[in-house]
Amino acid sequence: MMIARFVLSILIVAAIVSGSEFSYTRDAKVEKILKKLNKPALKSIKSPDGDIIDCVHMNNHPIYDHPLFKNYTIQMKPSSYPKGKNNESSDREKQSVVTQLWTVNGKCPENSIPIRRTRRKEILRTKYMQRYDKKNPNIINHPKASTSNSIHEYAQIQAKGKFHGAHADINVWKPYVQTPKEFSLAQMWVMAGPFSELNSVEAGWQVYHDRYGDDNPRYFIFWTADGYHSGCYNLDCPGFVPVNKNFALGAAVSNVSTLNGQQYHIPTTIWKDPHTGNWWLKFNDHEFVGYWPSILFNHLKDGATEIQWGGEIINFKDGSLHTTTRMGSGHFAEEGYQKASYFKNLEIIDEHDIHNKPKEGYSFMTQESCYNIRSGYAKIWGVYFYYGGPGRNQNCK
C-alpha cells in the first residue's frame, strides 16, 4: 500500500512538472512571436475600441524581417496611377466613405507607420504557433474547388482575362457571426496562376472574432503565393509593405451601414505599378496603403488573369446545421438598396493601365438558398451587384 502511494505521488509530481514545462515552452513561444510582431514604437495610440496602435519607425519596418528584403529600398509612393478614374469625390460621396476609428485619438509622426498591436490572448486564441497565418486554421478553399463538404461559401462576380488591377466601392456592414471561429467578409481578389500554385492578393473588410477579439468590421488584406498552402493576413508575416502613416491594417472601420439608413462604403483599388511591378493597394480616394512586392509572386509578376468581387463566410455546421452567420447585411440581394449589401463601380484595369468596365463576368454562388447575388448597371453606380443572405433558413439547412 505504501509503495502504491509512493508511486502515485511520483506520477502526480511528474505530471505537474510536465505541465509546467509545457506551459513554460508555450509561454516562451508566445513571447517570441509577440516580440517579432510588435516592433519598438515611437508613439502608441489607444483606439476607442480598445486597440493599441504602435507608430513604428520605417527603420524597423516589418519587411526587413523577410530574408529577401534585408537591404531593401522601400517604394514610398506608386510611380503612377491608372488612367480613366476620377479620384475626386463629391461632398455626398465623401460623407459615405469610411475612415479608421483610432485616428480620432491621434496620428503617427512622419517616417513611421501605424501597426495594430498583437496581444497575447490573440496568439493563444488563434493558435498562431500552428496555423496563424492561414485564412482559416482548418482548411483553405477556393470557389473553383468548392464542394458540398467545403466550409467556405461565396457569392461573387468573377471576370477572366488579362488585367493590371481592379476597383470597387465595397459597402460596409456589421454582420452577425454565429461562432468566434467563423468569419464574414467582403473583398476583392486579384489572382493569377493554376489553382495548385495560385497567386492572390486580397483586400476588403472582415468580421472575425477569433482573430481580432471582437465583432467589429475591420480593414484587412490577405495574400498567398502557393494556392493557399500558406498565406498571411495583414502583417502577420513579412510581405506586404505598408507606407501610409495614417492607415493601420486590421484596424476597425469607423462607420457601418444601417438597415433603411445611411450607407457607407470603402473605395478599394489594387493595381500593378508599371515601373516596379509591385501591386499597390489604395483604400478610399487618397489612402495609398502600401504594396505587395512583385518578387513575392511567380505568376502575378506578369499580371492578373482573374478578378473576383464578393462575399465569403465560413460555415462550420455546428450541430450538423448550416450556420446562421450572415453575409453582407444578412439580407438577400433582391431586397435592394439600404437592405442588401452591395459592390458598385466595378472596374478592371487593363494591360494599358486604364480603368474600364468588366466586359465579361459571371456570378458564382456556393448555395443560392443561403447567400445570393444579383448584378446590374446604372449610370451613377456603373457595374454593380447586391449580394448576401442570412445563412440558415427554411430553404438553407
Instruction: State the catalytic residues.
Output: 202, 312
CB 59 within 8 A of CB 110: no
3-state helix, strand, coil in the chain (%, to 5): 20, 35, 45
Identify which of 78, 386, 333, 347 has the alpha carbon closest to the alpha carbon of residue 188: 347
Distance CA 183, CA 236 (A): 18
The residues, any chain, with a CB within 8 Å of residue 270's CB and separated by 6 or more, are 165, 166, 167, 188, 190, 201, 203, 279, 280, 281, 282
Widest CA span of the chain, in angstroms?
89
CB 245 within 8 A of CB 112: yes
CB 183 within 8 A of CB 207: yes
Give backbone dihedrals phi and psi of 111, rounded to 5 degrees, phi first.
Answer: 60, 30
Grid cell digits, residue 339: 437592405
Q: Hey, which residues does 2 pair with through a beta bridge?
A: none
In 3-state terms, what secondary structure has residue 127?
Answer: coil
